[in-house]
Amino acid sequence: EAGIIPELGEVLSWADSIRKLGVRANADVPQDAEMALKFGAEGIGLLRIERMFRKPERLELLRKVILAENSEERIKYLKPLAEMIKQDFKEMFAIMDNKPVIVRLIDPPLHEFLPKPEEIIREIYELRMKNAPEDVIKEKEWLYKRVSVLQEANPMLGHRGVRVGVTYPEFYYYLSTAILEAAAELIKEGKNPIVEIMIPQVSDVNEIKYVKQKAILPALQDVEKRYGVKLNIKIGTMVETVRACLTMDEIAKEVDFISFGTNDLTQATFSFSRDDAENKFLPFYLQEKILPANPFETLDIKGVGKLIELAVKMARENNPKIEIGICGEHGGDPASIMFLHKVGLDYVSASPFRVPVARLAAAQAALKSQKK
Ligand code: PEP
Ligand code: MG
């Protein structure tokens, strides 16, 4: 296998003949997709769309979208932004031709893309010291007011993920349009993109119904009509809230696939912050054996695992065709893979460099369960 020493390649191909779990990779840029393929990934389990907005020109447009005061203004900036990211999707889908690529609609709290109010205050102060023109200062003052209005007490639990798709359907409409146009163009070029659109942070089936109706399906219809092609896309959801697990009987009926976001699901289940746990109290918890392992690395089977088991059971009962995966970090962890095999997931998705380990661990899980 390219990118892997031959002996290891052979072991991995034995593993592939044994394992039941599919192995995909999380990748946002072409280099990662290429690496994932070299390591044997069978698709992309998570492409985080927000990572496409890092280039300055795009970030500037995204900021304008976020700061816009009405939907008309948002659309003005969403159109050129969608056009820019469409090119990236084309590149990614072409690299992954004939293999599934799950693109997740925008997820993070919007303030992550904006300057901080205190930074703007400092800029205004500096502009005043330099006797800058009044209109320049006025614009910064407007920015300060707007950014202040958008501040949230608890952004991680605030206006983010599907909640943005519900309140600003045009946002999800144009992102979906970019994804679908890329697929349509590749089909016209004779390629076979397999595209799956995923909705983040869902906690109720009605959120899925709403964004499908208001954004994703209209985008699909428009693109199919304009390009004269049929796009067989799948629409699915992240499962990363406790409520999504508990109401899976309803959710499963509304989607083609689900993917466990165990990073957020772990955070939600323990009710501790994934950003703070590791460098604050978690090392002490491990030392004192309050927890057996870091739950952000090794899936917490007692709690998070129970939610997953319940959700998988309800999903299969209510939608026999549903495709079930995981795209949280645990998808690349051998001990967690053992559990995920047992509960009957279809695939795991991990960082590209963890794909070989995941292939081996999936085979080991299959062998172990045969022995019993
Ligand atoms: C997750 O929550 O597990 C996930 C994959 O999404 P993100 O890490 O982007 O929140
Ligand atoms: Mg998440």
pLDDT 10s digits, 74-91: 999 999 999 999 999 999
276, with CB counted inside 10 A (0-12, 13-18, 19+), is exposed
Q: What is the reported pTM?
A: 0.96
Tokens of 40: 């044997």
Rounded Cα–Cα distance for residues 263 and 349 (Å): 13
Encoded tokens for 137: 């200062």
- Cα 167 to ligand 1 centre (Å): 21
The per-residue pLDDT for 370 is 85
Burial 241-256 (b: 16+ CB within 10 A, else e): bbebbebbebbbebbb
Task: Identify the pLDDT of residue 125.
Answer: 96
- Helix or strand or coil: residue 261? coil
pLDDT classification of 274: cutoffs 50, 70, 90: confident
pLDDT for 3: 64
- Probe ligand 1: pick from 103, 156, 263, max atoms within 8 Å of CB? 263
> What's the pLDDT score for residue 371?
75
Minimum-distance ligand 1 atom for the alpha carbon of 327: 5
DSSP state of 332: G
Determine the pLDDT at residue 372: 62
- Give the pLDDT confidence score for residue 350 in this predicted structure: 95
The per-residue pLDDT for 2 is: 53
**Angle subtended at Cα 201 by Cα 347 and Cα 341, rounded to the nearest 5 degrees:** 20
Per residue in 307-365, pLDDT (tens digit) is: 999 999 999 999 999 999 999 999 999 999 999 999 999 999 999 999 999 999 999 99
User: Residue 199 forms beta bridges with which residues?
Assistant: 237
User: CA 103 to CA 235: how far, in whole Å?
Assistant: 10
Q: Please give the distance, rounded to the nearest whole angstrom, from the Cα atom of residue 120 to the centre of ligand 1.
A: 30
264 C-beta closer than 6 A to ligand 1: yes
| Predicted local distance difference test score (pLDDT) of residue 100 | 98
Query: Which pLDDT band, with edges at 50, 70 and 90, does 6 fall under?
Result: confident
**Contact 336 CB / ligand 1 (< 6 Å):** no
pLDDT of residue 275: 86
Taking CA atoms only, the protein residue closest to ligand 1 atom 9 is 48
Amino acid at 275: D
Please give the pLDDT value at position 367.
96
ipTM for the complex shown: 0.99
Mean pLDDT of the chain: 96
pLDDT for residue 4: 72
Residues 6+ away with beta carbon under 8 Å from 11? 360
Structure tokens at 166: 């519900």
Residue 293 above 90 pLDDT?
Answer: yes
d(CA 219, CA 206): 19
